[in-house]
């Protein structure tokens, strides 16, 4: 009965919300009845016994799967992620974890948390959570076991390089606040740079606090870095905008088929920063949702400049509807529109357009308050397009295998006197090369796998001789890239990644960000523009007038 109720609720939510027209209501009733009857017939007439809950889940996922990627069925794990977003905190010990090969590994402890105070280090290998061996767990299950009610305890057993045996920590869980601002400081006199990771509940307050601590009166320019910020809560995006845009402005409008999801959102506070403070926002293809709202509204109102790469293109609004104590459906209920009237959402969001009666598609041209052309239907296009130089083959391969962080950890544990400020090229390039040799690291072209398959086929067929052996050896050698020469051609970016990890081991995420600033061409371009005396003319905007777009 419980699963039938869940299916009924899901069907109602997915097929309709407060249906208004008679014809539509009748169409919905017929489709709902067919769905419930199909569930009944399958459960009572199938040749084998069916798990009713599993059948219900499959039915719901079948419905959501035909729609956009954000309309989904949520179970306990996903509900936790939504709670984390909306509450901005969770019960835990404050460690970021990941899988290195098949080993559960500490990425980093968060500052001033139980794990940080206990002395956890990046690269520590967690082998047991309480009495459970972690080799039996995936990362989701391990995360669930480490988190828990504040005040409760969890025991973590770890192994650490250069430390014999096991280390056991009994940690009391605390309420961990999500820290969304890993870096906030002046990078030039008067120019504040803030890196914002997300838009969870406390994000805007964290930004406001950091700006206040820096002394808002002394800020002449703000560079807000939203690169790889995948978004979060709309109200936090509005609060961020209200830091430099005046109140009583309609910043965002949501439009949905159901009128209760169609709303206009106004800024309602006096801004923290004056209208003479110059604004630059950095975005890339990883900037989505709330990040795009902040960038798009700023662009539409000509309040600042947008630099980087075109953003992701997520302009859909979701609402969560509970099905039971442990499950819910998250449904796209409306779309975001920003002041120029454009839609941020990219066109290909819907998986099966045939199930929609009216599908919106096609890019259109809109205009900012100052008359500049901007396009809809594909994210936010920056005013200044900057494409970062991609990492080369060697650096990309080393990054994918997490070799920079592994080397940094092993080297610094063996050399605790290192401060993170030494000349990286002089001290570490050769030791890093020797370390790669010890690892047996080679870099191979994609054709090598095909060569090895062909060699195996020859061997299996008994057709090998000295000539074929020599020929295959030469082919494999040709397909193996010369690491030493690549270390020369990719030296600059390689040293950047290496120095960033070495600094990050000592100073956490802030130091890691600092280590990359000197080679961040997007940040450099923003700084150059924001310091330029002809800032307003260069970006083609005019001074902001609060009377517009109300």
Positions marked catalytic: 289, 300, 314
* Cα 151 to the center of its chain, rounded Å: 30
Render pLDDT for 416-428 as a digit per residue (tens, 0 to 9).
Answer: 777 655 666 656 7
Contacts of 160 (CB under 8 A, 6+ apart): 121, 123, 124, 125, 167, 413
Helices (DSSP H) in 176-252: which residue ranges? Answer: 203-214, 234-241
- What DSSP string runs through 159-196? EETTEEEEEEEEEE-EEEEP---SEEEEEETTEEEEE-
In terms of average pLDDT, the best of 207-211, 257-261, 351-355, 374-378 is 207-211
Cα gap 52→416, rounded to integer Å: 58
Pick 11 or 94 by higher pLDDT.
94
Confidence at 407, pLDDT banded by 50, 70, 90: confident
The predicted pLDDT at position 543 comes to 45
- Which is nearest to 315 in space by CA: 380, 245, 227, 243? 380
Mean pLDDT of 120-136: 90
Dihedral through CA 79, CA 83, CA 89, CA 91, nearest 10?
Answer: -40
Query: Of 171 and 24, which is predicted with more confidence?
Result: 171
Q: What is the pLDDT averaged over residues 512-534?
A: 84
In this prediction, residue 545 carries a pLDDT of: 44
Place of tokens 């309309």: 71
Condensed to tens digits (0 to 9), the pLDDT of residues 192-211 reads 999 999 998 889 999 999 99
The residues that bridge with 319 in the sheet, in sequence order, are: 331
Q: How much is the pLDDT for 206?
A: 96
Q: CA-based Rg of the chain, rounded to a whole angstrom?
A: 27
Q: Considering only CA atoms, which of 350, 342, 367 is closest in space to residue 253?
A: 342
Token duo for residue 538: 């260069």
Give 57's DSSP letter: H
Q: How far is CA 370 from CA 243, 251, 299, 379, 549, in A?
A: 21, 16, 10, 20, 11
- Cα dihedral 170, 176, 182, 185 in deg (nearest 10): -110
User: In three state form, how does the secondary structure of 328-393 look?
Assistant: EEEEEEEEEECCCCCECCCHHHCCCHHHCCCCCCCCCEEECCCCCEEECCCCCCCCEECCCCCCCH
């Amino acid at each position: 009965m419980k699963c039938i109720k869940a299916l009924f609720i899901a069907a109602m939510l997915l097929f309709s919300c407060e249906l208004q027209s008679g014809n539509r209501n009748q169409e919905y009733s017929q489709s709902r009845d067919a769905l419930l009857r199909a569930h009944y017939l399958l459960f009572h007439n199938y040749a084998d016994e069916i798990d009713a809950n599993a059948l219900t889940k499959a039915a719901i996922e079948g419905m959501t799967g035909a729609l956009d990627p954000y309309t989904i069925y949520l179970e306990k794990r996903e509900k936790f992620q939504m709670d984390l977003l909306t509450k901005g905190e969770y019960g835990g010990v404050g460690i970021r974890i990941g899988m290195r090969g098949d080993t559960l590994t500490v990425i980093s402890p968060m500052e001033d948390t139980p794990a940080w105070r206990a002395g956890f280090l990046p690269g520590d290998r967690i082998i047991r959570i309480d009495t459970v061996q972690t080799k039996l767990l995936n990362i989701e299950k391990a995360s669930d076991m480490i988190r828990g009610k504040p005040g409760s305890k969890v025991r973590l057993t770890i192994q650490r390089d250069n430390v014999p045996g096991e280390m056991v920590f009994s940690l009391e869980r605390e309420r961990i606040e999500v820290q969304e601002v890993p870096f906030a400081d002046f990078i030039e006199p008067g120019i504040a740079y803030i890196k914002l990771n997300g838009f969870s509940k406390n994000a805007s307050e964290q930004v406001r606090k950091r700006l206040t601590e820096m002394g808002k009166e002394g800020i002449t320019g703000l560079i807000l870095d939203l690169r790889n910020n995948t978004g979060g809560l709309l109200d936090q995006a509005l609060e961020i905008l209200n830091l430099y845009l005046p109140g009583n402005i309609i910043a965002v409008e949501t439009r949905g088929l159901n009128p209760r999801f169609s709303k206009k959102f106004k800024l309602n506070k006096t801004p923290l920063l004056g209208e003479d403070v110059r604004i630059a926002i950095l975005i890339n293809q990883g900037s989505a949702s709330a990040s795009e709202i902040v960038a798009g509204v700023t662009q539409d109102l000509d309040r600042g400049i947008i630099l980087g790469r075109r953003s992701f293109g997520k302009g859909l609004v979701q609402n969560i509807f509970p099905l039971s104590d442990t499950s819910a459906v998250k449904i796209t209920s409306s779309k975001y529109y920003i002041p120029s009237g454009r839609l941020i959402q990219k066109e290909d969001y819907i998986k099966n357009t045939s199930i929609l009666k009216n599908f919106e598609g096609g890019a259109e041209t809109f205009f900012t308050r100052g008359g500049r052309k901007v396009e809809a239907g594909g994210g936010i296009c920056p005013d200044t397009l900057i494409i970062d130089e991609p990492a080369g083959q060697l650096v990309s391969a080393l990054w994918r295998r997490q070799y920079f962080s592994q080397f940094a950890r092993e080297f610094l544990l063996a050399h605790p006197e290192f401060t993170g400020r030494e000349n990286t090229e002089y001290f570490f390039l050769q030791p890093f090369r020797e370390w790669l040799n010890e690892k047996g690291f080679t870099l191979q072209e994609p054709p090598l796998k095909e060569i090895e398959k062909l060699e195996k086929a020859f061997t299996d067929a008994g057709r090998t001789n000295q000539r074929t052996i020599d020929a295959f050896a030469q082919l494999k050698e040709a397909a193996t890239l010369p690491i030493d020469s690549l270390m020369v051609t990719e030296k600059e970016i390689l040293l950047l990644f290496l120095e960033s990890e070495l600094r990050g081991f000592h100073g956490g995420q802030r130091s890691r960000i600092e280590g990359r600033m000197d080679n961040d061409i997007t940040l450099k371009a923003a700084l150059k523009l924001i310091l330029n005396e002809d800032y307003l003319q260069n970006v083609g905007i005019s001074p902001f007038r609060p009377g517009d777009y109300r």
